[in-house]
Amino acid sequence: MKHVFITGANRGIGLSLVAYYLQQGAKVSATYRDESSATELFTLTKQYDTLSLYQLELTDYNAILKLSQQISESKIDLLINNAGYYGPKGYGFGNCDVTEWKKVFEINAIAPQKLVEALYPNLQLSNDKTIVCISSKVGSMTENTSGGGYLYRSSKAALNSVVKSLSNDLKPEGFTVIAIHPGWVQTEMGGPNALISTEESVAELTKVIAQLSIDNSGQFLNFDGTELPW
């Protein structure tokens, strides 16, 4: 049975990813920040005994290590670094809150790297060894034609750099590591005017993930499978 590990699973894309992989018959381990915002996620535990939930603050690196020790004997076939934080909107030039910037940067770029390091032994046990980081095309230098968005843009550009380095380091060991843009999705972060639902995004994301090979490692992909410029 394939084992999928998903962060930020209490809502939005993460919750839809959990539901999808459970329906496909996978064993799913999912993290959530607090139980009060994870009602739908906990409902799934009543339907599937293949779902394991872990409360995790992603910037608590001691907690990440404890979690890795807790599941040390379990192989992970697919790790999806989905959890992310946009930060306050409207922080344009001359109005960038440094405290919030550090928070956005840590959650979006540093925490995914530390999670990969902690779960590296679990991924080594798999034949698939796939790491997918949910990024955003706003982190692309080429796509940035409008400016602004300093906090979120810079954090996703940093995540893309992390993905590239992880691929260079781990591809020789058989790992596939990619960054992927999920589309403009109707979530709390994407807002009500976004173009697609979480279910539509996940339907496309999972198609791309299912077709990945080691030749894709180090790529930045759109949710439709096309390659995005860095």
Segment 34-46 shows an average pLDDT of 95
Residue 218 within any structural domain of the chain: yes
CA 143, CA 109: separation in Å to the nearest integer?
A: 19
User: Which tokens hold the place of 201?
Assistant: 């995004």
Residue 228 within any structural domain of the chain: no
**123 or 189, higher pLDDT:** 123
Residue 91 within any structural domain of the chain: yes
Structurally, the chain folds into a number of domains equal to 1
Residues with Cβ within 8 Å of residue 83, at least 6 apart in sequence: 7, 8, 14, 31, 33, 58, 107, 111
Cβ-contact 32, 7 below 8 angstroms: no
Question: Where in the sequence is the domain holding 187, given as residue range(s)?
Answer: 3-222
Rg (CA), the chain: 17
Residue 230 within any structural domain of the chain: no
Residue 229 within any structural domain of the chain: no
pLDDT of residue 190: 56
Task: State phi, psi for 99 to the nearest 5 degrees.
Answer: -60, -45
Residue 211 within any structural domain of the chain: yes
Residue 227 within any structural domain of the chain: no
Beta bridge partners of 65: none
Lowest mean pLDDT, pick from 20-34, 69-83, 84-98, 202-216: 84-98
CATH number reported for the structural domain that contains residue 117 in this entry? 3.40.50.720
pLDDT of residue 227: 97
pLDDT of residue 30: 98
